[in-house]
Amino acid sequence: MSEIDLVRLNFSPASLTALNAILALVLFGVALDMKVSDFKGIASAPRATAIGMLGQFVLLPAVGWAIGMVLKPAPSIALGLILVAACPGGNISNFLTHFARGNTALSITMTSVSTLGSLVLTPFNLAFWGSLNPQTARILSAVALDPLDVLVTIVFLLGIPAASGMAVAHWFPRAAARAHRPFKVLSLAFFGIFVVAALAANWGYFLEYVGRVVLVVFLMNGLGLLLGYWSGRLARLPEADCRATAIEVGIQNSGFGLILVFNFFGGLGGMAIVAAWWGIWHILTGLALASWWRRRPPPVPVPVQ
C-alpha cells in the first residue's frame, strides 16, 4: 500500500457539516435558474443529450478505470479518478459553453439531466468500476461502501436543494430572477473560501502529494474533453453542440466529489487530492479551451430545404 493511501486529511465533523450545507446552497442557487422547460431539451435535441450523458456516465468512468489499470497509481488515486468521473457535470460548464460560443441551452439541459441522473448513476459507477480494479475494490470493501447510503446522501445534497430551487423559480419567478445571480455569487464565494481554508489546513499534504496526481488528472480531463467533442462529431452534431458536449463531459463537479470523499472515505488522501486538483485543473483547461473556441465562431448550420 502506498503512503498516500494512509493519509487522512484534516477535516472535522463540523467542517464536513458546513461543507455539506454550502454545497446544498450552491445547488439551490443554481437551481433558481433551472426550469422544467430545461428538460424539454431532451425531446428537442435527444441525440445531443444522449451523447453527452453517454460520455458523462459511461465513457468517462471507463476512462478513469482504464487509467488506473494501465498506469497503476496508488489505489486511493485510482479510486479518486473513478469517483470524479462518476460525478455530474460541474456548475461552471454552462458559463464555459456560453463563452466558447457553444450551445448553451444544450449545456443547461445536460447539466440538469446529469444532476438528476447522478442520484443513481454516481453510486452505481463508483461501485461498479471501483470493484473491477482489485486495488480499488479493497478500499470499497474496507469502508463497506453501500450504494444505497451514497444514493440517500446524494438525494439530500443534490436532489432536495435542486428541487427546492426549481420550485421557488416556478412559484416565485420574479423573486428567483432577482436572487439568482447574487445568491449564486455568494454561495460560490463561500464555497471558494471554504476550499481555500481546507487546502490551507492540509497544505503540507497537498504540496507533498499533488505531483502524484497531475499526470492522471491531465490525462482524464483531456480524454474527457476529446471524447465529448469527437463523439458529437461522429454523430454529426453541429459544431456548437459538439463544444457543449465536450465541456460537459470534461468538466466535473469536483466539490461534490470531495464531499463524498469525506462522507464515505474519511478524507482518504489520494481521493481527496485528486478531487481538489481536478477542481483547479478543469477550470484552467476549460477557460483555455473556451477562449480558443471563442475566437473561432462555429459555422451556422444550413437549413435543409
DSSP code, position 296: S
Q: What is the CATH number of the domain that holds 97?
A: 1.20.1530.20
Q: What is the DSSP track for 153-218? A: HHIIIIIHHHHHHHHHHHH-HHHHHHHHHHHHHHHHHHHHHHHHHHHHHTHHHHHHHGGGTHHHHH
DSSP-based three-state secondary structure for 268? strand
How many domains would you assign to the chain?
Answer: 1
pLDDT tens-digit readout, 231-259: 999 999 999 999 999 999 998 887 778 87
Would you say residue 281 lies in a domain? yes
SS3 content of the chain, % helix, strand, coil (to 5): 80, 0, 15
What span, in angstroms and rounded, lies between the C-alpha atoms of 43 and 46?
5
pLDDT tens-digit readout, 124-152: 999 999 999 999 998 887 766 667 777 77
pLDDT in tens, the chain (305 residues): 566 665 555 655 566 677 677 777 777 777 776 666 656 656 666 888 899 899 999 999 999 999 999 999 999 999 999 999 999 887 678 778 888 988 877 887 888 788 778 888 888 999 999 999 999 998 887 766 667 777 777 777 777 887 888 888 888 888 887 877 777 677 667 766 766 766 676 677 677 777 888 899 999 999 999 999 999 999 999 999 999 999 999 988 877 788 788 878 877 878 888 988 888 888 889 989 999 999 988 886 554 44
Would you say residue 151 lies in a domain? yes
Would you say residue 125 lies in a domain? yes
Would you say residue 299 lies in a domain? no
What span, in angstroms and rounded, lies between the C-alpha atoms of 116 and 305?
37
Backbone torsions φ then ψ of 213, nearest 5 degrees: -110, -10
Q: Which structural domain range is residue 170 located in? A: 3-290
- In sequence order, the 6+-apart residues with CB closer than 8 A to the CB of 248 are 52, 55, 56, 89, 93, 97, 107, 110, 111, 114, 228
DSSP-based three-state secondary structure for 21? helix
C-beta separation of 262 from 19 below 8 A = yes
Query: What is this structure's pTM?
Result: 0.79
C-beta separation of 255 from 178 below 8 A = no
Would you say residue 305 lies in a domain? no
Would you say residue 62 lies in a domain? yes
Would you say residue 46 lies in a domain? yes
Would you say residue 198 lies in a domain? yes
Burial class (CB in 10 A: 0-12, 13-18, 19+), 46: exposed
